[in-house]
Amino acid sequence: MYARPIQQLIQAFSKLPGVGPRTAERFVAHLLKSGKKDVAELSSALQYLMSTTKSCTSCWDFSDRSPCALCTDTTRDQTLLCIVAEPHDLQALEHTGTYRGYYHVLRGTIDPIDEEQMRGLKIKELLSRIQAAGPFREIILAFNPDVAGETTILALTRLIREGAPRLTVTRLARGLPMGSDLRYADDITLGNAIAHRVKT
Ligand SMILES: [Zn+2]
C-alpha cells in the first residue's frame, strides 16, 4: 500500500483522459525520483494555469482574458462562425492558416444519452450568439468525421435552422478519412477540408 500523499497523486493523475492507474503510478514514481525542482516546476505551472486561465464568454475557448484575443480581432471575417468540439480543434484549424473567421467551442459533441456530457455543452450560448442578429452569414460545423461528429452535425444543423433559417450551414469537405481526428490531420488536408466546405 502506498503512503497517503502518493496514493492521492496517483488518483489525481488517473482522472486525466487516457491515463490509467498504471500510467499514473509511473508519473508519480518519476516525479519522486526526479527531485524537487521538477515537481516545483509542475506545481507552479498548474498554479499559473489555474490563476490566469478563464473561459472566453464569447467563443468558450480557454484564454487568459475574456473576450479572448481572437474574438476581439476585428481583422477577421465577421460573417463566418466555425463551430468545433474542443479547443485543440480550433488550434488545428488556426494552424492551417486557411480560415479567418470566428469560432465557437462546443466543449464536446452531442450525445443525447449522455446527460452529464450534454450539460457541459455550450449549445444555448451558441444559439443565442447566432440569433443575436449578429453579422454571421455562414456557420461551419467542423467536427471529426466519426459517429459522434456526424450526430452533432445533424443535431446542430436542425437547431440552427429552427432558430435562424436564413443562415448557410456548412461542414468540412469529405477529404478526411472516416474515424480520423482533426487534431492529427496535416495542415494541407485540413486546410482543403475547410476551404472546400459543403452545405449540410
Ligand atoms: Zn473568444
Measured in angstroms, how far is the CA atom of residue 38 from the centroid of ligand 1? 32
In a domain, 180, yes or no: yes
Residues 27 and 99 in one domain: no
Amino acid at position 138, single letter? E
pLDDT of residue 109: 95
Report the C-alpha gap between 106 and 42 in whole angstroms: 29
* Residues 165, 89 share a domain: yes
Is residue 133 pLDDT above 80, yes or no? no
Q: What is the mean pLDDT of the segment spanning 70-99?
A: 96
Cell of 42: 509542475
Q: Is the same domain home to 46 and 80?
A: no
Report whether pLDDT(134) > 80: no
In a domain, 159, yes or no: yes
Looking at the fold, whether 72 and 119 belong to one and the same domain comes out as yes
Q: Do 69 and 120 share a domain, yes or no?
A: yes
Contacts of 76 (CB under 8 A, 6+ apart): 70, 100, 101, 102
- Give the range of the structural domain holding residue 22, as residue numbers without chain letter: 4-52
Give the range among 46-50, 124-128, 172-176, 191-195 with minimum mean pLDDT. 172-176
Q: Out of 67-71, 139-143, 181-185, pick the least confident.
A: 181-185
CATH number of the domain to which 36 belongs: 1.10.8.420
User: Within a domain: residue 57?
Assistant: no
Q: Give the total number of structural domains in the chain.
A: 2
Q: Is residue 157 part of a domain?
A: yes
- For ligand 1, the distance from its centroid to the CA atom of residue 105, given in whole angstroms, is 9
Which are the contacts of 160, defined by CB distance < 8 A and separation ≥ 6? Answer: 127, 130, 139, 167, 169
pTM: 0.85
Is pLDDT above 90 for 116?
Answer: no
Q: Is the pLDDT of residue 113 over 90?
A: no
Residues 89 and 134 reside in one and the same domain:
yes
Angle in degrees, CA 67, 191, 62, rounded to 5: 25
Looking at the fold, whether 72 and 107 belong to one and the same domain comes out as: yes
The beta strand positions in the chain, using DSSP E, are 54-55, 62-63, 80-84, 102-105, 138-142, 168-171, 198-199
Average pLDDT across the chain, whole number: 93
Q: Which residue has the higher pLDDT, 156 or 135?
A: 156
* Rounded distance between C-alpha atoms, residue 130 and residue 99, angstroms: 19
Q: How far is the CA of 56 from the centre of ligand 1 (A)?
A: 5
Residues with Cβ within 5 Å of ion ligand 1?
56, 58-59, 68, 71
pLDDT of residue 115 exceeding 90, the answer is no
pLDDT (tens digit per residue) in 172-190: 998 788 888 998 888 988 9
CA of 58 to the centre of ligand 1 (A): 5
Q: What is the largest CA-CA distance in the chain?
A: 63
In a domain, 71, yes or no: yes
Residues 168 and 99 occupy one common structural domain: yes
pLDDT band at 29 (very low <50, low <70, confident <90, very high): very high
What tens digit of pLDDT does each residue of 51-62 get? Answer: 999 999 999 999
User: Do the domain assignments include residue 88?
Assistant: yes
- Kindly compute the dihedral angle of the four CA atoms of residues 131, 132, 134, 138, in this order, to the nearest 10 degrees: -10
Q: Are residues 189 and 98 in the same domain?
A: yes
In CATH, what number is assigned to the domain containing residue 174? 3.40.1360.10
**Residue 89 CA, ligand 1 centroid: distance in Å:** 14
Residue 148 lies in a domain: yes
- Based on the fold, state whether residues 40 and 111 are members of the same structural domain: no
132 shares a domain with 43:
no
Beta carbons within 8 Å of 161's beta carbon, 6+ residues apart: 167, 169
Closest CA to 81 of 125, 37, 129, 128: 129
Cα(35) to centroid(ligand 1), Å: 38
Report residue 117's pLDDT band, with 50, 70 and 90 as the boundaries.
Answer: confident
Coil, strand or helix at 105: strand
Backbone φ and ψ for 121, nearest 5 degrees, come out as -75, 145
Are residues 131 and 76 part of one domain?
yes
Length of the chain: 200
